[in-house]
Amino acid sequence: MDKKIGFIGCGNMAKAMIEGIIASELVSAKNIIVSDAYLKGLEDSREKYGFNITQDNKEVASNSDVIFLAVKPNMYESVIKEISESTRNDSIIVSIAPGKTLAKIEEAFGKNIKVLRTMPNTPALVGAGVTAICPNKNITKDEFEMLKSIIGTFSLVEEIEEKLFDAVVSVSGSSPAYVFMFIEAMADAAVMQGMPRDKAYRFAAQSVMGSAKMILETQKHPGELKDMVCSPGGTTIEAVAVLEEKGFRTSVIEAMRACGEKSSRM
């Protein structure tokens, strides 16, 4: 693909995206330019990946066909203000921040601009993420397919209506944190019963990964798969009964509701 890709911000998510793009050979490292305030981190990343670096966000904007805004949500307004005049009208802005709607980004640029709203998640760091995407009206069909190809190098890609993005934040953007807490709790319980901690983490993490794979590959309802494990009068149903008593599912639902509401206020 003969496109110039720019990243403003070089944190973990940006590096996961860049690594996927380069590894796929979809875009050459020489056609990627990255800016960040932390020069040492930029230089270390250039040594590892071979892309071009700068500390001038305007240079990224003026030299890129696709510009990923890979900065924290609270930095979007200042970064957009900085690069607005340098951004070409035919360039595509890719947002990865929760709460930043297409309308907000268009308004911040103050001109007719092509914008793709996305919500990736941290499993992209190991090539196992999922990214929700939603284009504004200025992106053509061919451009949209091109963007899906780029994002598909580091995660699954799902086109989602923008009104559902707060739900996306809670169910995929933030949810790895809930899963990590669940794995940690399971491992702690195994350690309490005498298992070495390194083995406890492996058993817990592999069980979560395998269970998720069963849902995706069998297409069966999670409740049906749960019932397959719960033998009559067995150990699993005892554990399930305690989880229900303690409000396990209600806690997850309420946590995700709070997460989605926070996203809508950002």
Q: Residue range 122-150: average pLDDT?
A: 95
- Ranges assigned E (strand) in 37-150: 52-54, 66-69, 92-95, 114-119, 129-135
The Cα 45–Cα 170 span in angstroms is 30
The Cα 123–Cα 16 span in angstroms is 9
Quote the pLDDT of residue 1. Answer: 84
Quote the pLDDT of residue 107. Answer: 95
The Cα 64–Cα 94 span in angstroms is 12
Q: What are the domain boundaries of the chain? A: 5-165, 173-265
Quote the pLDDT of residue 192. Answer: 98
Q: Residue range 103-132: average pLDDT?
A: 94
Is the predicted pLDDT of residue 132 greater than 90, yes or no? yes
Q: Hey, what CATH class is 5-165 in?
A: alpha beta
* 130-36-150-153 Cα dihedral, nearest 10 degrees: -50
Strands 114-119 and 129-135, how do they pair? antiparallel
The Cα 186–Cα 189 span in angstroms is 5
Single out the residue of 5, 11, 13 nearest to residue 29, CA to CA: 5
pLDDT tens by residue, 13-30: 999 999 999 999 999 999
Architecture of the domain made up of 173-265 = Orthogonal Bundle (1.10)
pLDDT tens by residue, 37-94: 999 999 999 999 999 999 999 999 999 999 999 999 999 999 999 999 999 999 999 9
